[in-house]
Structure 1
Amino acid sequence: MGKDVSLDFEFKSAIEQVWVALTDSNTLAKWMLFQENDFKPIVGHNFQFRTEPNQWWDGIVHCEVLEVDEPHRLSYTWVSGGENTTVTWILKQVDDGTTHVHLDQTGFKEEQAFSGALYGWQSMANHLEKVLTD
């Protein structure tokens, strides 16, 4: 059975600000490890995250938006390198103005892809925190 990435983050930002960071194409490009994307928060929209290719990977993640429940839930497919997974973001506003963010990426078959995703999301969350505080 495959492994799933499951991570929790706390950001000292309003839920609406975090939602924009997850759904605005220009803001996504500031914190994700991908320089380009054509994301739109519309169910059924096909999009790509793109970065420089290397000898092991073409640098493209193919995606489709599955669910948009602004500002609480966002889900999309993530197809890359032979892996077909689903990314789901769940946001909850905490009383002190902090936003709790839960991330799941499910459906990994390969340990290397799982490990890379786990590392990548943790790294990108640090960049997201910086974008939210700028």
Structure 2
Amino acid sequence: MPDDDARAVETICNIIHLRNDAVPLSLAPKEVFEIAVAADKFDCASAVKLASIFWLKTSGTEVQVVSELALLMSAAYILDNVDAFGEITLAMMMMRYKESYLPLADHLFNFVLWEVLFMLEARRNM
């Protein structure tokens, strides 16, 4: 489809067709997010679950930018990866981020519940 991220769809196809040599070992947070969105759209999130566990774990430990952590949090949410979601949201709360988390919802509205961002904001202000 024209609206889909071609690289994300290609990665999903490589996973489904067991072309492990063509599946990246690491991805940027935006790429992980795009794969999660495409996997959700084409109802194949379970097919990418194992690879996404690796991507979310390795990407989340290196990221120090809250907007990139928000992309990873969204990917974990979309792919129903509870452990990664918890670790990434905890990392977001522990950052010394002075701005509100609520503007992040502008880009993630269709993917993450508003309540999650409200809870992050409330927890940070405790």
Higher helix share: 2
Q: Which structure carries more relative contact order (alpha carbon 8 Å, separation 6+)?
A: 1
Q: Hey, which of these two has a bigger chunk of strand by percent?
A: 1
Q: TM-score by structure 1 length?
A: 0.26
TM-score of the aligned structures, taking structure 2 as reference length: 0.27
